[in-house]
A and B are shown apart, each in its own frame.
Chain A
Amino acid sequence: MSFSTMLSSMGEGMLRSCAIFILTILFSMPLGMIVMFLRRSRFTIVREITKIYIAIMRGTPLMLQLLMWYFGPYYLFGMNIRGYRFTAILLGFSMNYAAYFAEIYRGGMETIPVGQYEAAEILGYNKVQTFFKIILPQVLKAILPSVTNEIITLVKDTSLAFTLAYNEMFSIAKQIAASQTSFMPFVIAGVFYFAANYLVAFIMERIEKAFDYYK
């Protein structure tokens, strides 16, 4: 197998990895916000259930969760799971990452002193205004480095999708390495991941700079 065939088949896998990555970010980041609100809810029962959710999502391997999401509907309800694969992968990744993002957001929220809410109330801001105009900009600024961490982990975690026979880049690398008895595909995979993460870090740095308005 020539180097260019290797690159092109792995490039195809890279696109599939990117699909998981982008869609997971798109779903999990807003979902994480919702989970964070539930986690900070006034109602004990909601708070406790959310805690259990976060505990399960963080406490079990993502690989297992993917298996549960995909095979769960079949084993529990005998549903036909044909064509459900990609949805299950997205569900698994998004629900898992939402739990992590929720905790990162919560960490950011906790840094805002109560005095700011009181001040906003006195100035006549309602709750929604307070959140979006005063709290959120500060929280975003504070959590960006942790979010970057999480996103970079996600890039590398996409390889777990192969658990459900989704042929992403790293699984193709493994297949080529096995059939060609060559280490080269792993080197290419390493370069791919590094380049992708470098890009993520670069973009996130730009965003951080944009939020740097107090300097």
Chain B
Amino acid sequence: MTKTAERRRVTKAAAHQVPAPPPVRDSRRRRLTDQLRAYGFLLGGLLCFALFSWYPAIRAVVIAFQKYTPGSPPAWVGTDNFTRVLHDPEFTAAWRNTLTFTLLALLIGFAIPFVLALVLNELRHAKAFFRVVVYLPVMIPPVVSALLWKWFYDPGAGLANETLRFLHLPTSNWSNGADTALVSLVIVATWANMGGTVLIYLAALQSIPGELYEAAELDGAGLLQRVRHVTIPQTRFVILMLMLLQIIATMQVFTEPFVITGGGPENATVTVLYLIYKYAFLYNDFGGACALSVMLLLLLGAFSGVYLRLTRTEGDA
């Protein structure tokens, strides 16, 4: 209520000889204290967001155009950082690897959980067992799964090659071969993360009304036709959402290449985030690291924007 409206109400009340409402100044003071109190509750959270989310986002853009060394005053260098980073042979390798990784993770890491969830949804026994077991690797710290698979991929007594030998199949270099390293890492990431995808997709499958399947069956639809014409259209939204989430997550992959391959062999597994880390902590080139971060940020921000728009429209519907 505005000040004048408040005053008018007060005078009117006084004219009618009703017990006087609190004077203007009191109610204004109360509104002020209400606001102060509200911001008191908000303060801690706001400070943390300002310091660790908003400010770094602005700084990433600023430092991308600066020569920045901690301890000495930064100098503006225009687009030098971007040109330097763009001419780094590792830059092309990192983006190629990250995009290949994301694509492979979609092919392997998305098809497998999808089929697995479909099958699990048909099983009537030991449901809790399956859900716990498939989610177990997610709860193992990512560093441990990476080290575990590094050991499996060991060319000597590693479990991966031992299994191939046991099956009389030719052995592989796994993470140590330039052409197999990236796939090997995708396998690790899929093993470690598919539990979440399976559980979310499983929940979506359970929300499909049974009548739809019955109707399709009466129309003579076979198993695969029912999957194609009932299951997939009914869960289209969740599939799309999970895909976008997975793209966003896999484009930021770091732990697996850092722990298992160290970016090698021959830069075959250097990812964009790994390169950002190298620029900052090996080359001490924070300008270059921020230029790279801004590029990654723009791309991932676009994906996130699509994701948020999708979830929001679905929420409104």
Asked whether A and B interact, the reply is: no
Which residues on B are within 8 Å of A, measured CB to CB? none
Chain A contact residues, CB within 8 Å of chain B: none
